Structure 1
Amino acid sequence: MSTLKLRLLNTRADGFAADFERLLDRAHAIDPKIETTVRDIVADVRARGDAAVVEYTRRFDRREVSSVAELEVSRSRLREVSRAVTKEQYEALANAAERIRAYHERQRTDSWTYTEPDGTLLGQQVTALERVGLYVPGGKAAYPSSVLMNAIPAKVAEVPELVMVVPAPEGTLSEMVLAAAYLGGVDRVFTIGGAQAVAALAYGTQTVPKVDKIVGPGNVYVATAKRLVYGVVDIDMIAGPSEIVVLCDGRTDPEWIAMDLFSQAEHDEDAQSILISLDEAFTLKVLAAIEKLLPGMERREIIRAALESRGALITAGSLDEALVLVNRIAPEHLELSVENAGETAKRVRHAGAIFLGRYTAEAVGDYCAGPNHVLPTSGTARFSSPLGVYDFQKRSSLIQCSADGASVLGKTASVLARGEGLTAHARSAEYRIKK
């Protein structure tokens, strides 16, 4: 008898709707103590700049430093480190970088214009953000893949300056993270982290330049700081716990499915892994595979906690029922482990990334397939998209009236402006109407 307390749900069972809604309860109250702490740190960095950053680095990262300049890693140092990692590591990073760049090159958007018969020109001018900040977790949590996924789209968008911040508690810093920064084209790197790093990027200090947008994952303090500085700068998103939904018709090896569920559950105890199966017997086979494989996993306690708190194995009565659930969940990652996965994908309205077929593990998307792994979580795939080149570009409208066009448009504008009681608007347009 297993001691794993994993939800087993069936769409045809009484009470399923209520059980399913409880499974999707994503309410995460913001700890007021954390928000107060972060608000104070942000205000302090805004007021004192470098001095505050140094003080918090000493306190939180336990480093004896006297200036922010000491915390900057030169581009030449990045190059040296990129040569110090193992050949296997460098080749993996380089291969991933090449694939990510090739994919994102296809997302580039160019400026465009068109001219109307009377000579009026209309269009859109696309320009890159001037400077972007990239937050990267440091210490034990080293994610070189996140560096590539955030840096490369920015550089494809032709952002002139990309500034990376990464904490180095007690001086610990991942060589692979620095190598990824070099391969990703990062221009400046500062070994600072936490809310103080976000504030430094948002407001600028004597040494850290002010950026226009902050991207990249972090802990609750980082996420809270990003939320607080939004409006001063843009941010990518407030990311929630990682999620995966696997939709399977019962014809895939159950151990593959179990490991796919583990791949997200091992992130942290709040991650969510859900199987939607079209075959109840197969659902039980996956449960057996989970019980068999879990004891051998290095992060088994985290996986167990995630599966028991937010995981589920759901048996659906049909593909139609399963897809209703998928679209209700709007998952960050969706594996379609079914026949004719491409056709099934056309019926998916809400998902951050869709992995088609039995051989496509979500893990390849995390590292090297090419599409971005920065994805909407917590149901936000209903209205948002993966990070991409477009997130590092902005668009300006272009309007150039000919004399004839100004006269024609002026008459329409005049009527609408006077209807709104904005006389100056109306007269401004009327001056250009031909008599």
Structure 2
Amino acid sequence: MTCAAPAPGATAGAELAGRHIVLGLSGGIACYKAADLTRELVKAGATVQVVMTAAAEAFITPVTLQALSNRPVFTSQWDARPDNNMAHIGLSREADAVLIAPASADFMAKLVQGRADDLLSLLCLARPLERVPLLVAPAMNREMWSHPATQRNVAQLRADGATVLGPGAGDQACGEVGDGRMLEPAELRDALIAFFQPKLLAGRRVLITAGPTFEPIDPVRGITNHSSGKMGFAIARAAAEAGAEVTLVAGPVHLPTPAGVRRLNVQSAQQMFDAVLPLAPQHGLFVATAAVADWRPAALAGEKIKKTAEQRVPTLSLTENPDILAAVARLPAGQRPWCVGFAAESHDLLRHAREKRERKGVPLLVGNIGPATFGQDDNALLLVDAQGAVELPRAPKLTLARALVAEIARRLANAPTFPSPT
């Protein structure tokens, strides 16, 4: 057995370590969120240089952003602090990315037109396009967002290479409800982290199962397990960050859907089987992280089973559930995705993982000790293939998910064949 460390740069809580972000604020009530966004980016390890327009200063003070970023805030293209008096050049050359949050309708129009009448628009125009990406987080009233002029500008921004984050939908400061809210600070932080992740699965379609299944006994009871779904959801997030188109089939868990992931909710093993099998041929990679119940009651009681004087302990007859991973692995060539299985064991992990990999007929089996990981935020993984086993030592689940995605991508690149999605 050999050991491998998680992917470089994946330390929990420091996903933006070494990144220098120019955070630009244009005018809008969503400027209040920029304070929390600055904190989130700094906590994630980034250095943050805030640049504000005059309109932004009407909503939040530079003093607030300076205190949170620990750096002087720039507001004017005539700022004399840079040695050459060219703040728009120095600020843009130092950046790993420019993030405009909030990006008002007016400021996006400026970007599209190439106008540069303030420091923020000037540095956006002066940034080196090939190495300093531009991300914008729109924030405006729903009518302003849906206006054809705004939609034309958003389309042009994307065509010019900018990444548009959001907007979200919900209650607006004006009292209306709809599209146009700036994404929340944590969402923007995660979007920026995802932006910098290597796109190792770009162009791939990935199908993932996660969580437990619930097998009903009667209308109020059922058979399930302790799986929280956290590992599977972390893998779905990591795969989406890596550029894949991800479909997640989730058992009964209360976890937010990772950004950019299509989610299908199911309850029982049969429902998961019925959801997965038609989708599998449309995907090039299948990752079966779900802890699927092996058995279910042979008959579902129509009413709650009651204790009686004659029968205080009922007898349950069980029947076997369909084997989702094995069924996908047996699909015909051309329809069969590259399969990764998971095994949650209580003991003898390596032996059981090897046996399960051979039994299921999959190229890679990922094992873990279930009682040590169910419900936890960290985990340790054992990757088992025909050549042997590789250990990913205990780390946060998202860190492990990114390392696993990198390992899968490496194996896919070296695989003799890779089924094309249909």
Under a length normalisation based on structure 1, what TM-score does the superposition of the two structures give?
0.29
> More strand per residue: 1 or 2?
2
